[in-house]
Amino acid sequence: MVVFGIIMFVFSVILFLISIRHFRKKGFLFNNAYIYATKEERERTDYAPYYRQSAIVFLLIAVQFLMIGFYAVTKWTPFLVAEFIVIVLMLCYAIISSRRIGRKLP
């Protein structure tokens, strides 16, 4: 289980790095609004809210992998409970932020 925990920690670090890049509005935007947009839409649309949304979601996923890694190494149940709380928070945030961004678009 220690090896599994280490793998989860590595995934967590990778996701933290992606989150930091999204907070800085750098790199490829991992968001459906950007992925499915045409070239013209990409040039004229401000994707700052989408970068922020993706950054926060990647941050929460990174925390989730961190909790899984801690649980795998320690077998301490509060880490497992924290993981499920993070999942619920992430889902709520994704739904609420998508609705807010959708209302701001023309």
Domain limits for position 28: 2-104
Q: What is the dihedral of CA 84, 87, 91, 93, to 10 degrees?
A: 110
Residue 106 has a pLDDT of 52
Q: How many domains does the chain have?
A: 1
pTM higher than the cut 0.85: yes
Cβ-Cβ contacts under 8 Å for 67 (sequence gap 6 or more):
79, 80, 82, 83, 86
Give me the tens of pLDDT residue by residue for the chain, a chain 106 residues long.
Answer: 899 999 999 999 999 999 999 999 998 999 888 888 899 988 888 889 999 999 999 999 999 999 999 999 999 999 999 999 999 999 999 999 988 887 765 5
Whose CA is closest to 63, among 89, 32, 30? 89
Q: Which amino acid is at 92?
A: C
